[in-house]
Amino acid sequence: MDYEIIIAGGGMVGAALACLLGQAGKQVAVLETTTPAAFSPDDPFDNRVSAISRASQRLLEQAGAWSSVLNMRAAPYENMQVWDATGSGLIRFEAAELGESDLGHIVENRVLQLALLATLKTYPSVELLCPARLESFELSQQQIQVKLADGRQLTAQLLVGADGAQSVVRSLAELPYEVLDYAQKGVVCTAYTSLPHLDTAWQRFLPTGPLAFLPLPEPQACSIVWTLPADQADTALWWDEERFQRELGQALDFRLGEIMSLGERAAFPLRGLHAQPYVRERIALLGDAAHTIHPLAGQGVNLGFKDAQALAELILANERADAGSLKLLRRYERARRGDNFLTQKAMEAFNLVFSNTLAPWQILRNRGLTTANQLPLLKYQLAKRAMGL
Ligand SMILES: Cc1cc2nc3c(=O)[nH]c(=O)nc-3n(C[C@H](O)[C@H](O)[C@H](O)COP(=O)(O)OP(=O)(O)OC[C@H]3O[C@@H](n4cnc5c(N)ncnc54)[C@H](O)[C@@H]3O)c2cc1C
């Protein structure tokens, strides 16, 4: 056997799993097609960022990668303000009220991935193969043999599919999945505003979908995720810069003043996906390969990190067991499926309720936000849950 575990995909989730296993001396190979460009502090902000919860921060600390994230760049946010465009409903969370220094961090995906890849290279039992594309595999009773596009062949007890929403491992393993197309796209870019973001994550629910302004390490720079019906998102990408700035400022009700300039724009189709099951003999899926959710509360990669933690803990707690045994892998699935399912459905419910234009729903959700804002205990519970605590 070449390795105990082969991880297909060295994205944020696969690389985190490799670090957790590498720390314990597990023989791991990580296959990754491309690594991101090296970081320089002068680089413009990337348009793909993640809101990293406290629980994910702790996992990244445990994996040995968090200091490397902070050495590049990350923006802690201390407040969050969520409001409805069709009424006066508003809810505001403050880290100080919870006795916390911040509610989480906004980190560029590239920074997270680079930090994790640099960390995994420090563990002698982990090997990063890049460029390496998994093309096929063959299962036998004792092992799984993975074939790469360049002809190399590797064997292991377990193959982990951490290869994202279009997972090749999932399709080769014939693991079925449910998919729900939200008929929306998330338009992302960096926006420079005339007013400072005040270390606050801003989210406005519009009938077309939610708009988030996530604070970046410069006081007037935010990363935006603007959810729009798919055709409107495509149109917005074609607007000239002046029109996009005007419409974006208006969509946020000018809370951060005018939009002064923009980074590169992109749009991602939004769909919910859930594999059923996540595992079969010698194969396990995690992260986006197992589930994707609506990005409105920024929980996608946070769920993936929880998957990585659950799988690593199980493998390490059962040192003498075959890491690819279906019995062990089913325990991983049982540990994670409920949380992933409930989070996915909760995001879908929020998306539906807040984009509903019927008057009773508008009244109900505005009252809901206002009432929740006035109930400190409920707010505390909501914030702690979002922080993964
Ligand atoms: C608009 C938008 C905003 C979002 N905002 C947030 C947020 O604020 N917070 C949050 O938690 N989540 C957010 N998400 C979700 C988050 O981006 C994903 O959950 C996360 O990227 C999943 O990470 P992953 O490592 O599972 O998959 P990926 O990031 O897709 O990584 C998969 C890796 O596998 C590699 N790969 C693929 N195929 C192969 C192969 N055959 N062989 C070898 N390697 C392969 C790829 O190169 C890639 O590096 C957002 C998503 C969207 C669309």
> pLDDT, tens digit, for every residue of 3-55?
999 999 999 999 999 999 999 999 999 999 998 999 999 999 999 999 999 99
Q: Is residue 104 lining ligand 1, measured as CB closer than 6 Å?
A: no
CA angle 249, 301, 221 (to 5 degrees): 30
Task: Using the mean position of ligand 1's atoms as its centre, give its distance from the Cα of residue 4 in Å.
Answer: 24
Q: Is residue 13 lining ligand 1, measured as CB closer than 6 Å?
A: yes
Per-residue pLDDT at 386 exceeds 90: no
Q: Is residue 168 lining ligand 1, measured as CB closer than 6 Å?
A: yes
Q: Is residue 163 lining ligand 1, measured as CB closer than 6 Å?
A: yes
* CA-nearest residue, atom 30 of ligand 1: 164
Q: How confident is the model at residue 78 (pLDDT cuts 50, 70, 90)?
A: very high
* CA-nearest residue, atom 4 of ligand 1: 295
- What's residue 146's pLDDT? 98
> CB of 385 within 8 A of CB of 52?
no
d(CA 330, CA 240): 51
pLDDT digits (tens, 9 = 90+) for 42-59: 999 999 999 999 999 999
Count other C-beta atoms under 10 Å from residue 87's C-beta: 15
Q: How confident is the model at residue 173 (pLDDT cuts 50, 70, 90)?
A: very high
Q: Is residue 209 lining ligand 1, measured as CB closer than 6 Å?
A: no
* CA-nearest residue, atom 48 of ligand 1: 11
Q: Is residue 32 lining ligand 1, measured as CB closer than 6 Å?
A: yes
- Residue 118 to residues 3, 10, 16, 177, 311: CA-CA distances in angstroms? 20, 11, 11, 33, 21
Q: How confident is the model at residue 119 (pLDDT cuts 50, 70, 90)?
A: very high
Q: What percent of the chain has pLDDT over 90?
A: 88
pLDDT digits (tens, 9 = 90+) for 190-249: 999 999 999 999 999 999 999 999 999 999 999 999 999 999 999 999 999 999 999 999
Per-residue pLDDT at 157 exceeds 90: yes
Residues 274-279, mean pLDDT to the nearest whole number: 98
SS3 217: coil
Q: Is residue 285 lining ligand 1, measured as CB closer than 6 Å?
A: no
Q: How confident is the model at residue 1 (pLDDT cuts 50, 70, 90)?
A: confident
Average pLDDT, whole number, for the chain? Answer: 96
Per-residue pLDDT at 62 exceeds 90: yes
d(CA 260, CA 70): 27
Residues 63-91, mean pLDDT to the nearest whole number: 96
- What's residue 290's pLDDT? 98
* CA-nearest residue, atom 21 of ligand 1: 301
Task: Using the mean position of ligand 1's atoms as its centre, give its distance from the Cα of residue 9 in Å.
Answer: 9
pLDDT digits (tens, 9 = 90+) for 299-352: 999 999 999 999 999 999 999 999 999 999 999 999 999 999 999 999 999 998
For the ranges 61-70, 225-234, 298-307, 367-376, the lowest mean pLDDT is seen at 367-376
Which ligand 1 atom is nearest residue 168's CA? 41
- What's residue 197's pLDDT? 98
Q: Is residue 162 lining ligand 1, measured as CB closer than 6 Å?
A: yes
With 0-12 / 13-18 / 19 or more C-beta atoms within 10 angstroms meaning exposed / middle / buried, residue 314 is middle
* CA-nearest residue, atom 2 of ligand 1: 295
Q: How confident is the model at residue 389 (pLDDT cuts 50, 70, 90)?
A: confident
Give the pair of three-digit tokens for residue 75: 């923006």
Q: Is residue 330 lining ligand 1, measured as CB closer than 6 Å?
A: no
Query: Which of 163, 228, 302 to mutate to test ligand 1, by most ligand atoms within 8 A of the CB atom?
Result: 163
- What's residue 385's pLDDT? 87
- Residue 317 to residues 56, 58, 61, 218: CA-CA distances in angstroms? 21, 20, 20, 43
Q: DSSP letters along 142-182, please?
A: S-EEEEETTS-EEEESEEEE-S-TT-HHHHHTT--EEEEEE
- What's residue 360's pLDDT? 87
Q: Is residue 164 lining ligand 1, measured as CB closer than 6 Å?
A: yes
Domain-wise residue ranges, the chain:
5-40+109-179+272-352
Task: Using the mean position of ligand 1's atoms as its centre, give its distance from the Cα of residue 201 in Å.
Answer: 22
Which ligand 1 atom is nearest residue 188's CA? 1
Task: Using the mean position of ligand 1's atoms as its centre, give its distance from the Cα of residue 288 in Å.
Answer: 6
Task: Using the mean position of ligand 1's atoms as its centre, give its distance from the Cα of residue 167 in Å.
Answer: 10
CATH number assigned to the domain with residue range 5-40+109-179+272-352, chosen from the 4 options 3.30.1330.30, 3.50.50.60, 3.40.640.10, 3.40.220.10: 3.50.50.60
d(CA 87, CA 366): 6
Residues 281-296, mean pLDDT to the nearest whole number: 97
